[in-house]
């Protein structure tokens, strides 16, 4: 998909993991900040209690998404084929089956068809690449604890100037060689618990301003 050069603020999210409460507080914050263009870097639905509602909310927002490993699994793996061998695997298999049943065949197929990359041109001529894991492999993470020498092979000599990614649930940004790496953390599964990360990129004629922040939320009481 070709995107027009971005001139206004862009919101970047990742790893919503079916957490509607967290998504709603982030969307409210982005609206308050005047962000109208939204990109989400995968792992959208698996993990929370309201996967279908999250999908519909992202569609209402016109969110442009890439595919994470859990999205691909929901779109291609038959839950009956899973053979758990311990209690935790049984719990994960039940969660997977419940999520797959909740979203239905149509949404599962749409997840499977999501691209692994999205490229966004900026008004200064630079380019943003959004992936879930890394340009070299959507399942290989760019983590905050990797060295530059470990990160560079994951960038795969991609021509983009700014790499936006998720997967690790830990937000950070830093320069690596000629690249600016931005991991946007997680909306629905932040390690800190009950906070949702977001990133706003505002293009300028000579650079881009990048804000990384979070907003807190309260989990709904179990019924």
- Is the model's pLDDT at 5 over the cut of 90? no
According to the model, what pLDDT value does residue 190 have? Answer: 97
According to the model, what pLDDT value does residue 148 have? Answer: 96
- Is the model's pLDDT at 120 over the cut of 70? yes
| 7 class by beta-carbon count within 10 Å (0-12 exposed, 13-18 middle, 19+ buried) | middle
According to the model, what pLDDT value does residue 219 have? Answer: 83
Note whether 128 and 162 are within 8 A (CB). yes
- Summarised one tens digit per residue, pLDDT across range 129-171 is 999 999 999 999 999 999 999 999 999 999 999 999 999 999 9
Residue 133's nearest CA partner among 63, 54, 43 is: 43
Q: What is the residue-averaged pLDDT of the chain?
A: 94
Give me the residue label for tokens 């089956």: 97
| 12 class by beta-carbon count within 10 Å (0-12 exposed, 13-18 middle, 19+ buried) | buried
Residue 41's nearest CA partner among 61, 7, 15, 80 is: 15
List domains and CATH numbers for the chain: 10-216 (3.60.21.10)
CB atoms within 10 A of CB 2: 6
- Which helix (H) or strand (E) segment holds residue 32: the answer is helix 20-32
Note whether 197 and 186 are within 8 A (CB). yes
- Summarised one tens digit per residue, pLDDT across range 85-115 is 888 999 999 999 999 999 999 999 999 999 9
Residue 86, C-beta contacts closer than 8 angstroms, at least 6 positions apart: none
Q: Whole-model pTM above 0.85?
A: yes
């Amino acid at each position: 998909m070709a995107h027009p050069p971005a001139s206004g603020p862009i919101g970047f999210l990742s790893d919503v993991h079916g957490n509607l409460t967290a998504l709603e507080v982030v969307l409210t914050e982005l609206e308050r900040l005047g962000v109208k263009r939204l990109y989400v870097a995968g792992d959208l639905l698996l993990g929370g209690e309201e996967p279908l509602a999250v999908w519909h909310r992202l569609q209402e927002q016109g969110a442009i998404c890439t595919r994470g490993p859990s999205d691909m699994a929901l779109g291609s793996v038959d839950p009956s084929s899973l053979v758990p061998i311990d209690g935790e695997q049984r719990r994960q298999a039940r969660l997977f089956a419940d999520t797959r049943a909740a979203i239905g065949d149509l949404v599962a197929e749409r997840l499977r068809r999501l691209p692994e990359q999205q490229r966004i041109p900026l008004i200064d001529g630079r380019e943003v690449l959004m992936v879930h894991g890394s340009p070299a492999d959507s399942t290989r993470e760019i983590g905050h604890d990797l060295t530059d020498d470990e990160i560079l092979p994951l960038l795969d000599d991609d021509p983009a100037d700014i790499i936006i990614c998720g997967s690790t649930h830990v937000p950070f940004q830093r320069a690596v060689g000629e690249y600016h790496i931005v991991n946007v953390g997680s909306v629905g599964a932040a390690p800190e618990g009950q906070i949702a990360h977001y990133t706003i990129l505002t293009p300028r004629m000579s650079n881009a301003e990048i804000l990384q922040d979070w907003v807190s939320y309260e989990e709904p009481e179990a019924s």
